[in-house]
Structure 1
């Protein structure tokens, strides 16, 4: 069981969704460019942005609540660069110290307070240049250089800011964004050759290579079992 809900209006700029699920055994989580703050049984932790597949270790039947940040926005609430969380699961108490322990106690008792916790910490400033760059990559810019064109900062500076905010560089994000487009299109596309073209891959072989590296399995198997998307 997995469900999503829209975040409160005040958080839509930084938060993609609130979600909850009940685990039914091990699940494989694949990169989506996001970081999540999660409550899973007695654990309260941050799931950082992934660069490859992650197999969950939560006991079957665990009720999980989460809040998912949009790519590039997790540092505004978590107070650390996303690059420090890449491929990590970090207990909130380790991330925020005493305040993290108190917040974790609150969230264990009241998981529905996730939005309130994030809203109270969310820094209002944002980086409009990074927002433009991420939007270009999400829309299918064929190369990082094309997405960077015309932006008001040196390329090296933009790449550094991007990595700090998102958790990895724009070249990796291109691959993650392409996989997300494939996931979105998969329900309406009848074959892998067409899916590769729709999502922006050079060909089906390109889709297969990226899918194996990002999900740990073949496209046919991956798209056949898309039902469980809990991050843990």
Structure 2
């Protein structure tokens, strides 16, 4: 088998892979999975993951490796024993291009990686055999490239990336439709069919993620308060930011920072 050089793997996957990193859940092995506008894949090095949803009925489910679609609710991830693994996030078009299923099929839920992409079922065991981060990264990237080869007809063209770019660059759905030269109804149908969420929900997720990024930067630099973070992320004020975080994360921004950033994992 020909091994693709690291820089070529990264270049080929650049438009699909938003992040690829190692993680360590730290003491207790618990992590709050925040609402997300991307598809995430979490692959533990050894022990399986137990995942439950805050505010939803039902018992937590156990997965050897997990794929999570776009979701507006917080989840709890618990990994006993070894708390390390690999975590990556994919843009919505990557679901079809790399995994072979549309992002809408994964929206609001989690599933085992082996069920979503059977050809990647080997990754947890192969990952456990790796002895360095370059080996782990290469393993994951080679598997994603193989998925891209299998699903080359599912890349979806340029319409979806252009649609998502318009939504991310505007504050209102109607403005995004105007930029795209289509009706709001057409835009809504495109986004619902591809992502499983409405355009407004997608923009809500983007604003939430912008706030998360601003919060982390502010906490680490000690340069900004919640009011500044709220303004930078597009919220009306600090109270609006706090209400949205309670609704979407199940906690306040300060509580999340204390648990996940200042004393816990940053992923």
TM-score by length of 1: 0.82
CA distance in structure 1 between the partners assigned to 2:92 and 2:161 by the alignment = 9
Residue 120 of structure 1 is matched in structure 2 by: 146
Q: d(CA) in 2 for partners of 1:61 and 1:156? A: 48
**How does 1:66-85 map onto structure 2 within 5 Å?**
66-85=87-106
Output the CA distance in 2 between the equivalents of 1:138 and 1:224. 29
**Partner of residue 3, structure 1:** none
The 8 Å contact of residues 92 and 101 in structure 1, kept in 2 or not, is answered as: yes
| Deviation readout 1:184-209 (Å, 9 max, x if unpaired) | 22334522222211111122222122
Does 1:210 find its partner at 2:214?
Answer: no
Match of 1:183 in 2: 212
Offset of 1:69 from its aligned partner? 0.5
| Cα distance, 1:154 vs structure 2 | 4.2
Deviation at 1:67, TM superposition (A): 2.6
Q: Is the 8 A contact 1:38 1:45 kept in 2?
A: yes
Alpha-carbon separation, structure 2, partners of 1:102 and 1:195: 42
The Cα of 1:106 is off from its aligned counterpart by 4.4
Distance in 1 of aligned mates of 2:179 and 2:129 = 49
Which residue in the other structure is 2:231 paired with?
Answer: 197
Structure 2 unaligned runs (5+)? 1-6, 49-63, 131-135
Alpha carbons 1:129, 1:151 under 8 Å: kept: no
Deviation at 1:212, TM superposition (A): 0.9
| 2:50 pairs with 1:50 | no
**Residue 39 (structure 2) pairs with residue 35 (structure 1):** yes
Aligned match for 1:220, one of 219, 240, 254: 254
Greater relative contact order structure (CA < 8 Å, 6+ sep) = 1
- Within 5 A, what are the aligned runs for 1:17-166? 17-24=19-26, 25-40=29-44, 41=46, 43-97=64-118, 99-102=119-122, 105-107=125-127, 109=129, 111-112=136-137, 113-122=139-148, 123-124=151-152, 125-139=155-169, 141-166=170-195
Which runs of 5 or more structure 1 residues have no equivalent in the other structure? 1-5
SS at match of 1:149: helix
Distance 2:18 2:113 in 1: 20
Using a 3 Å threshold, how does the CA distance of structure 1 residues 30 and 217 change in structure 2: closer, same or farther? same
The 8 Å contact of residues 66 and 113 in structure 2, kept in 1 or not, is answered as yes
Cα shift readout 1:152-190 (whole Å, capped 9, x = no counterpart): 444333323323433422211111111222222233452
The answer to whether the Cα contact below 8 Å between 2:32 and 2:75 also exists between their aligned partners in 1 is: yes
Which entry has the higher C-alpha Rg, 1 or 2?
A: 2
Give the Cα–Cα distance (whole angstroms) in 2 for the partners of residues 38 and 184 of structure 1.
20
Q: Describe the shift of the 1:127–1:226 C-alpha distance in structure 2 as closer, same or farther (beyond 3 A).
A: farther
- CA distance 1:114–1:194, shift in 2 (3 Å): same
* Partner residue, 2:201: 172
Question: What is the alpha-carbon root mean square deviation over aligned residues?
Answer: 2.6
